[in-house]
């Protein structure tokens, strides 16, 4: 993702890598935020574009725009339960074998968190709760 974005900027602006406005240390900081699970890939794209415009650090942009990923499992679990309880038709579809409906639930949670929920954690929590409903 990041590599392609860098190449696009180089091509669009017709500049050499030496003239790239974001320095390697700043890119490394952005990558660290992704690897550490502090921001999602989607948020990283937004931060990258902001870095291009402002030359600010990734960490500063994430803090100023409140873009940290939500990885608090208890907070996400509450959202999962709320979404499942408010969408009984989709739960029934899942229980009848339509596993693709998980994407709908993830989308609802992402909408409620403005894309800040940790998608892997959301999927894990959703899977547990939906499978528990199968057993009952």
Q: Provide long-range contacts, Cβ within 8 A and 24+ apart, for 53-57.
A: 55/21, 55/22, 57/26, 57/29
The band of 134, judged by pLDDT with boundaries at 50, 70 and 90, is confident
Tell me: pLDDT of 136 over 80: no
Please tell me the predicted confidence (pLDDT) of residue 40. Answer: 84
Please tell me the predicted confidence (pLDDT) of residue 2. Answer: 78
Q: In sequence order, what are the residues at sequence separation of 6 or more whose Cβ sits closer than 8 angstroms to the Cβ of residue 24? A: none
Q: Which sequence spans correspond to the domains of the chain? A: 2-64, 73-135
CA distance 62 to 122: 21
Helix (H, G, I), strand (E, B) or coil at 72: coil
- Express each pLDDT in 68-107 by its tens digit: 999 899 999 999 999 999 999 999 999 999 989 999 999 9
Nearest-5° angle of CA 81, CA 62, CA 17?
130
Tell me: pLDDT of 131 over 70: yes
- Contact at 8 Å (CB) between 103 and 30? no
Q: What pTM, to 2 d.p., does this model score?
A: 0.71
**Mean of the per-residue pLDDT values for the chain?**
92
Mean of pLDDT values over 4-15: 90
Tell me: pLDDT of 56 over 90: yes
Class of 73-135 in CATH: mainly alpha
């Amino acid at each position: 993702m990041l590599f392609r974005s860098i190449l696009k900027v180089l091509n669009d602006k017709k500049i050499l890598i030496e003239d790239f406005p974001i320095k390697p240390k700043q890119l490394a900081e952005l990558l660290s935020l992704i690897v550490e699970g502090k921001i999602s890939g989607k948020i990283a794209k937004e931060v990258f574009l902001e870095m291009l415009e402002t030359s600010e650090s990734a960490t500063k942009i994430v803090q100023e725009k409140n873009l940290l990923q939500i990885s608090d499992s208890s907070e996400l679990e509450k959202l999962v339960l709320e979404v499942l309880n408010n969408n009984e038709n989709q739960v029934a579809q899942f229980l009848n074998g339509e596993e693709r409906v998980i994407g709908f639930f993830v989308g609802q949670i992402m909408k409620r968190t403005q894309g800040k929920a940790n998608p892997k954690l959301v999927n894990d929590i959703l899977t547990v709760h939906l499978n528990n409903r199968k057993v009952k």
